[in-house]
Chain A
Amino acid sequence: KQEVTQIPAALSVPEGENLVLNCSFTDSAIYNLQWFRQDPGKGLTSLLLIQSSQREQTSGRLNASLDKSSGRSTLYIAASQPGDSATYLCAVTLRADTGRRALTFGSGTRLQVQP
């Protein structure tokens, strides 16, 4: 059974710092990995999707990397801003030949960026 773990559970940084959020998964037979942002009491906003054949994806100040063989992904946020404060979730889907289509989520990293 796929398990997704995110470290740290919470992180507080001063504005302007670069930071790294970590995600690990137990079954490397993934199809893709998505990073989401969740604001308190709100829905999930997709930030980046990395296919299993890719090593990284970038969107603005965000860069996500994937090392499928070691079961790890990182989300790098450059020059953090108070508006980045949210919970960041990592989720994976398994390979098509597993018959699974569902996303398996981690518990998230709660980020607070201090002005």
Chain B
Amino acid sequence: SQKIEQNSEALNIQEGKTATLTCNYTNYSPAYLQWYRQDPGRGPVFLLLIRENEKEKRKERLKVTFDTTLKQSLFHITASQPADSATYLCALYLWSSASKIIFGSGTRLSIRP
């Protein structure tokens, strides 16, 4: 069956450390993968997109990697801050369905001071 799994329902780390979130998928062939941030009571906010032919993408303190062989993406936040605390969602845009993206269930990240 097709699945998107975000390892760790919740992740707690110390301020200043690097947070690493994992997204694994099975039986999908994504054209690209997106990461979103969602705060309580709000809709997801787009952060980064990485294409299937890209290995790594960076934006400020964020870094995303995409390994289509392992069927895995890693999302890193360096020098984490309490303001980075939120739920992070990975989403796949599929070649087989050009009209929608499929979301994982999210990882709730807490950064403690």
Instruction: Indicate, yes or no, whether A interacts with B.
Output: no
**Which A residues are within 8 Å of any B CB, using their own CB?**
none
- B residues contacting A by CB (< 8 A) are none
